[in-house]
Amino acid sequence: MSITRSPASTLHLQMGQEVIYLLLVTSLIANFVLAALALRSVKQSEVAAARPYAEVVRENRQLRQQQVLQESQIKGLQATVEQLKAERDRLANRNATLETAVKQAQFEQRQAEDKIKQLEALKNLPQDQPPIITLREGDCKSTAEERGAGNLHATFCGFSFPPGSADVSPEFVARLPDVVRKLAALSERYGAQIVEVIGHTDGTSIRDTLRVKANLDDTLGQYLDPTNTAPLFPFDNVGLGISRAVSVARALRTSGLPTKLDIQPLSAAYLIAPNDRAEPAARRLGDASRRRIEIRIRRVNAN
């Protein structure tokens, strides 16, 4: 049995097929679009996930650059600190040098002021020569030379020694306080610091019995020690003169001579006459006027 379709049913059939085709095509297009959208979403997610990492890398790079910059600044600051320390040390050394220079200048200024004071004091001191104090063995009748010398001599009498000896007797020591007072007054008046004690002898020779005991080289060095009681035995008149000067120097100190005055014993032996001239005494001839102790005062380094 043949079926005969009418044109209308055929058209309907064709239209149904086209609709199905369109539906299929639409479905494919939708699937394609959905797939594209899904792929785009995945790419966007990947990009979104990759962007923070790049930013971290960039920030890390920036931080490293900042670290390098800060390290460079720190090194610069450290170099500046070292320079400042070196400058501080230099200034400290310079300050120490300046302090030393200031102290030296102050010391020199004090010295100059003291020197000026000394010069001012010297201007007020008497310009005449201090008198020579003579301790005589004999009487106190002034010789012609002494009368002509004016105030250059002051004589004290009654100071004698045993022949050939430097021992001072109790009577000798008892007369010394007047001499000490005179010396102290003269030293103040003339600004003197040194007392020279000069031993003079006559031309009489030392006895041989005394010469064998000569000991000045061993005992003379202790002449200022009041506790030293070792006797002095000279070999000749030179030694006798210094021995007597030493004994008188020690006795003056124990009699109250101020310690600020330096005592210097000397010997003239028999070479200087009482008139202060170099006139040796006659040999082996006793002469009381030659046997004496002369005491002179002077300033330190005085010409």
Q: How far apart are CA 211 and CA 133, in angstroms?
A: 30
- Which pLDDT does position 147 carry in this prediction? 40
pLDDT tens-digit profile, the chain (303 residues):
444 555 555 555 555 666 566 666 666 666 666 666 666 665 655 555 555 777 878 878 888 888 888 888 888 888 888 888 888 888 889 888 999 999 999 999 999 988 888 777 666 666 677 889 999 987 665 444 444 444 567 889 889 999 989 999 999 999 999 999 999 999 998 889 999 999 999 999 888 777 888 888 888 887 767 777 778 889 999 999 999 999 999 999 999 999 999 999 999 999 999 888 999 999 888 888 899 999 999 988 755
- Which pLDDT does position 297 carry in this prediction? 92
Q: How far apart are CA 29 and CA 21, in angstroms?
A: 12
- Which pLDDT does position 242 carry in this prediction? 94
What pairing do the DSSP bridges indicate for beta strands 132-136 and 292-298?
antiparallel
Q: How many CB atoms lie within 10 A of CB 136?
A: 21
- Which pLDDT does position 256 carry in this prediction? 93
Sign of CA dihedral 18, 20, 23, 25: negative
Task: Say whether pTM exceeds 0.75.
Answer: no
186 SS3 class: helix
- Which pLDDT does position 21 carry in this prediction? 62
CB 269 within 8 A of CB 206: no
192 SS3 class: coil
CA diameter of the chain: 209
